[in-house]
Structures are given as C-alpha cells and as structure tokens.
Structure 1
Amino acid sequence: MRKLLSRTAVAALSMAFVTEAMATEWNVSVWGKRRAFTEHVEKLAELVSEKTGGDFTLNISYGGLSKNRENLDGISIGAFEMAQFCAGYHRDKNPSITVLELPFLGVSSLEQEIELSMAVYQHPAAVEDLGRWNATLLMPSPLPQYNLVGLGDAPASLADFAGLSVRATGGIGAAMETVGAVPTSMSATEVRQAMDSGIVKAVAFAPHAHMSFGTIENGTWWTTNLNPGTVNCPVVVNTDAMNDLSDEHREALMSSVDEALAHYVDNYNNATMSAWGPALDERGITQVTFSDDEIAAFKKAAAAPAAAAWIEDNTKRGLPAQELYDMVTGMIASGS
C-alpha cells in the first residue's frame, strides 16, 4: 500500500510539473495608461488566454518594464517577450518601417493603415531589419492623421508656424520644418510637462493621445485639417520567444491578431472619435481650418523632398528603399 501511495504521489507531482511546464507567461512592455492606442494589445491578451484555457497569458505592463524609447532594446536582449514602440523614436534602428511615416502619403483610414503596415512588415527587408534586434513584427497600432494642439494665439495661416516649437517626430517633424516650425522629438509621456514649461508651444498627436496625455487641458487651438501624416507604432515579439512557443500557443497568438486589430479599429472609430469633438468644445478650444490652397502648397513643399531624401538615405543603408516606397504609394493609389 505504501509503495502504491508513493507511486500515486509521484505521478501526481509529475503531472503537476508537466502542467506547469506547459503554461506560458509573457511580459508585455507598453507605456502611459490603457487607452485606444493599446486596445489591440489588451484584446490580444484576452483572446490568447481564452483560446488556451489560461495556459498562455500576456502580462501587460504600462511603463513598469522599460521606457518606451527602450522597448526595442529590451526585446533584443529578451528582457520581455512583447513590446510596442514607435518607429520615429529611433529611426536608425528601424529604417525600413519609417517609410510609413513619410508626410502626406494620403492614407485615408485605419483599415488602410493596417493593410499598408502589414505589407511592409512582411517585406523581406523589414523582416531582416527588425531581425537585427531579435524582433518579429506582429501587428501595427494604426493611427489617424496627426494634427496640432497648441498654446497662445491660434495660427491664421501656415506662415504663422514660423519659429513655433512643435513636438513632432519622424516625417511629421520634417514636414513641419518646411513651414518654418522647429520640431522637437520627445516621448508622449514627456509632452505635458514640456508644454507646461514652455519647451514646446504645440504638439502633433492623434486625437486619443491629445486626450490621454493632457495637451487639451492647457491647449487653446487645434488644427482640423493639417493632416501631415502619422506615426507607425508596431507591436513586436522577441523572435526566440516566438520560436519557443508550442504549435498550439503560436496558433492562439497568430490567429488572434486580426480580431484584436478589428476591436482596436472599432473602438477608435467609435468610442474615441465620438469623445473627441465634445472634449474640444467643453474646453473652448479654437478649431483652425486651413484653405485648400495652403494645404496643397504645404504638401508640395513637404512630400516630394521628404520622400526623395528618405529613398536616398535608406538606399545608402542597403535597403530597397525605392521598392518599399513604390509598394506603399502604389497600394494607396490603387485604393488598397
């Protein structure tokens, strides 16, 4: 009887060990607080847990694992398994995907932004580029066109941007330079303090970020139709961690991406945008709309030179820059 009990106990302990070994727990590094920008990550965690009966969990940390500008570095050394970052934070580290941040590309919807991003992410050049950081591109964080919230007198024309200090990253910053603004790159979490201290007088963000990071709390004006472009902020996975997943867990993760993105788009288009107009009205923020002629002139001055410079610089890096640019602009022209 004693031998039987011992064997039973050993078997039970072995089964518990196997069950524990089969469970997978990933740490996910994002920043700020839960908002429209992170809803696909939250949904992904929910779906993966459901599909695996809780055997695969994503532990999402808002700033507790890394600074947002260091998330790609954290991925590269395996400090955590998944992270979100924005390409414009460190353009030299991920030049291939910055094609999506060029000004005035003419992207018309979040759905189109997703399609363009996934096409670039799956391009061999982008796979190799991010592979240098042991990172696998999983999904984008699609954002609408950026516009400015600013302090002081509202600009009456684009000429009024001359000398204005603006928080703007990537291609948006390059575009703002063409109208005489002085772009400054800083992370989203630093923006409110920079506005309060006068370091910047205006901030380029998508609507959700203006609400989440408090620029509308002291801003006095908002540009309705500047639309210089957007930023590209992928969610990436540590490649070693991805390769270590069981077939079941990998399928649970990959099969959840489309649903997570659909949830993100629905939330952004409905909950976020329905709150945006009232948020501006409640605070008495002046809405500035520029003439078609001014916007056309802005686009002419910014778009072609930025694209040409991007192609030249990244061709020198060894990237098929013209090919990437032609793919993106071709998809946009065809309505993809």
Structure 2
Amino acid sequence: MNKYLGRVAASALILGFATEAMATEWNVSLWGTRRAFTEHVEKLAELVSEKTGGEFTLNISYGGLSNNRENLDGISIGAFEMAQFCAGYHADKNPSITVLELPFLGIESLEQEAAVSMALYQHPAVVADLARWNATLLMPSPLPQYNIVGSGDAPMTLADYEGMSVRAVGGIGAAMAAVGAVPTSMTASEVRQAMDSGVVKAVSFAPHAHMSFGTIESASWWTTNLNPGTVNCPVVVNSDALADLSDSEREALLSSVDEALDYYIEFYNGETMAAWGPALEERGIEQISYPESELTAFRDAVAGPAAAAWVEDNAAKGLPAQEILDFVTDQIAETGM
C-alpha cells in the first residue's frame, strides 16, 4: 500500500510539473510607465489570459528588458517575445513603415490611423522588411497629430521657428526643418532632461506623451493646429515564438488584437483628451493657433518634397517605395470620411 501511495504521489507531482511546464509566458518590452500609449498592450495581455484560462500570459516590463531604441534588436535574437518601438527611432532598420511618418499624409483620426497601419503591415514588402529582424508586426499604437510645446518666446508665426532646436523625429523633423527649425532626434525618455537643460527649446509629441513625460511642466506655449504628422509605433512579436504557439494560443492572441485596439482608441479619445485641455489651462500654457494661409503654405512646401525624397531614398535601398507610398495613399482615400 505504501508503495502504491508513493507511486500516486510521484505521478501527481510529475503531472503538476507537466501542467506548469505547459503554461506559456511571453516577456513584453515597453518603456516609460503605463499610459495611454500602452493601454492596448495591457488590454491584449488581459484578453489573452482570459481566453486561455491563464495558460498563456504576457509579462509586461517597462524598461526592464531593453531600452526603446533596442527593442527591435531584442526581438531579432529572441531576448523577449513581444515589444513596442517607434519607426523613427531607427528608420534604417524598418524603412518600409516609415512611410506612415511622412508629414501631412492626411490621416484624420485614430481609427483611420489604425486601419491604414494594419493594412500596410500586411503588404508583402513590409512583411519581408520586418522579417529581416525575425519580427512579425502585430498591431499599431495609433497616435493623433503631433503638436509642439516649448519654453521661452512663443513662435507666433512659422518664421519664428528659425534656428529653434526642436525634438522631432521622422517626417515631423523634416517638416520642422522646412520652416528653419533645428530638429533633434531623441527618445521620449530623454526629452524632459533635454528640455530642462536647454538642449532643446521645444518638443513635438502627442498629448499623452507631453503629459506622461512631463514636457508641459517646463512649457510656456503649445501649438494647437500645426499638425505636421505623427509617428508609427508598432507592437511586434518574435516570428519564431509566434510559430511555436499552439493553435489555440495563437488564436487567443490574434483574435484579441481588434478588441485591444478598440479599447485603446476609446481610452485615448476619452480619458486622455479629456485631461489634456485642463492640464494646459492649469499651468497657464499659451495656446497658439496659426492662420490657415500659413498652414497651407507649410503643407505645400513640405508634403510633396518629403514624399519624393522618401521614395528616392528607399528605392535606392531596394524597396518598392513608390508602390508602398501609393498603397498608403490609396488606403487613406478608402478609409477617409
């Protein structure tokens, strides 16, 4: 009897270890702190856990796994299974998706940004581009048009940007250079110190980031309608890890993307934008609106040349650049109001 009970106990112990071993855990590399920009990843983790009864979990780390400029590298070597990054942080590594960072594309809402991004992420040239990093694009992090906060004298006309150091990446940087500003590329985590120390006088961000990274604490002015563009910050997964999931785990992950994005957009349009106006008013930040005549001249001077330069540069790298740009402009037209 003792031998029998011993075998039962041993079998139960082995079964317990096997059950524990069958559970799947993915590490997810983000940065900063939990904020509107990461709510879709948080929601995705919640949905995946619910759908799998806790057998598939996403362990989200805010900066503990990698810095934001190296998240794509970490994905490529399997250091973690999921990560978020911004295309403009390393345009040379992901040139195909930088098309969505061109200035004045004409995207008008987060919903449209999500739809156009998801369509582009399925384009064969884009899939192949990210495959070089063993990465599969999972979902975007839709952001509204960027605007600028700054300290010192407010630029009441676009000519007042002449010589001003502005944190601006990707196409936004090109747009600001066109009005004489000096664009500086740095990650979101570096911006507050750079602004406080005077390395930059102004910062281009979406509203959530101005609040999350504290730029409004040093700011005296804000542009309401410059709208030079936005950045594209996808969530990617390691392709091998995705392939290694069971069919049910993969279904739980992929079927949760749309709901996670819907939640993100509702959160951003609701809670984040509701807090933005009061945050500016509480700090006495001057809000600057430029006349339509200046904005039209700005767009006319920047949009065409930036797109042409993007096509030329990326065609030289072997990308079907004109095809990708045409695809995006067609998608914008199809998804527009």
Structure 2: unaligned runs, 5 residues or longer: none
Aligned partner of 1:138 in structure 2 is 138
Distance 1:22 1:334 in 2: 44
How far is the alpha carbon of 1:150 from its aligned partner?
0.5
Aligned partner of 1:152 in structure 2 is 152
Distance 2:17 2:285 in 1: 59
In the superposition, the TM-score normalised over structure 2's length comes to: 0.98
Q: How does 1:154-303 map to 2 (within 5 A)?
A: 154-303=154-303
Query: Counterpart amino acid of 2:313?
Result: D
How far is the alpha carbon of 1:320 from its aligned partner?
1.1
Counterpart check, 1:74 vs 2:59 = no
Distance 1:67 1:12 in 2: 42
Aligned partner of 1:89 in structure 2 is 89
For 2:143, what is the secondary structure of its paired residue?
coil
CA deviation map 1:187-210 (0-9, x unaligned):
001000000110000000000000
For 2:53, what is the secondary structure of its paired residue?
coil
Query: Counterpart amino acid of 2:38?
Result: T
Distance 2:122 2:335 in 1: 19
Aligned CA-pair RMSD:
0.9
Query: Counterpart amino acid of 1:199?
Result: V
For 2:57, what is the secondary structure of its paired residue?
strand
CA deviation map 1:10-69 (0-9, x unaligned):
321232122112100111000000000000000011111111111111111111111000
For 1:195, what is the secondary structure of its paired residue?
helix
For 2:137, what is the secondary structure of its paired residue?
strand
CA deviation map 1:140-176 (0-9, x unaligned):
0000000000011111100000000000000000010
For 2:8, what is the secondary structure of its paired residue?
helix
Distance 2:332 2:132 in 1: 29
Aligned partner of 1:55 in structure 2 is 55
How far is the alpha carbon of 1:327 from its aligned partner?
1.1
How far is the alpha carbon of 1:4 from its aligned partner?
2.2
In the superposition, the TM-score normalised over structure 1's length comes to: 0.98
Distance 1:238 1:216 in 2: 36
How far is the alpha carbon of 1:333 from its aligned partner?
2.2
Aligned partner of 2:328 in structure 1 is 328
Aligned partner of 1:122 in structure 2 is 122
Tell me if structure 1 keeps the 8 A contact 2:115–2:335: no
Tell me if structure 1 keeps the 8 A contact 2:29–2:65: yes
Aligned partner of 1:17 in structure 2 is 17
CA deviation map 1:121-151 (0-9, x unaligned):
1111111101111111000000000000001
Tell me if structure 1 keeps the 8 A contact 2:101–2:172: yes
Distance 2:233 2:5 in 1: 56
Structure 1: unaligned runs, 5 residues or longer: none
For 1:237, what is the secondary structure of its paired residue?
strand
How far is the alpha carbon of 1:9 from its aligned partner?
2.4
Distance 1:16 1:124 in 2: 44
Distance 2:226 2:335 in 1: 22
For 2:250, what is the secondary structure of its paired residue?
helix
The size of the alignment, in residue pairs, is 336
Distance 2:16 2:250 in 1: 23
